[in-house]
Amino acid sequence: MTKSVENRLHLKKRLYRFYLKRRTSISDHINIYTKLLADLSNLNVVIDDEDKALILLSSLLDEGYETFVLILINGRTFLSYKEVTTALVNLELRRKDKESSGSTSAEVLAVGRSSPNQRRESSDQSQRPRWAITV
């Protein structure tokens, strides 16, 4: 890529308009952002480390990441790009773990249910509540 003003303008527009698209993983989002930063660096555009971090944080969707961002920046005087990317990747991993464990819980609940026929048969056998203790 040539180092013209036009190219720098184009890449800076992409940088400042950069945002997380729906259904894009955080890992993919960070990879796209890193490539954009590398393209800018190849044009001798210098972006401060904290600015890289803050632009990345501002690219996140408010509804899914607002609390995460507030917790991450709370009480800090400086924020590094590496800290932000590491925290985002860890957040994505925790969310994936939660989703996979949530589906396992749902499967356990579904397996533990009895069919309507089984419930009728058991209610015919005994009219006492299931929690009643027999001695």
Task: For residue 25, tell me if it sits in a domain.
Answer: yes
pLDDT > 70 fraction of the chain, expressed in percent and rounded: 73
Q: Does residue 120 lie in a domain region?
A: no
pLDDT the model gives residue 1: 58
Residue 64 Cα distances to 34, 69, 72, angstroms: 21, 10, 14
Confidence bin at 23 (pLDDT 50/70/90)? confident
Q: Confirm whether 68 is domain-assigned.
A: yes
- Residue 87 belongs to some domain of the structure: yes
pLDDT, tens digit (0-9, with 9 covering 90-100), for 76-129: 999 999 999 999 999 999 989 988 887 554 544 444 444 455 445 544 555 555
- 46 within some domain: yes
- Tally of domains within the chain: 1
Average pLDDT for 55-63: 90
What's the domain range around 98?
A: 5-112
The better pLDDT of the pair 106, 53 is held by: 53
Confirm whether 131 is domain-assigned. Answer: no
| Residue 20 counted as domain residue | yes
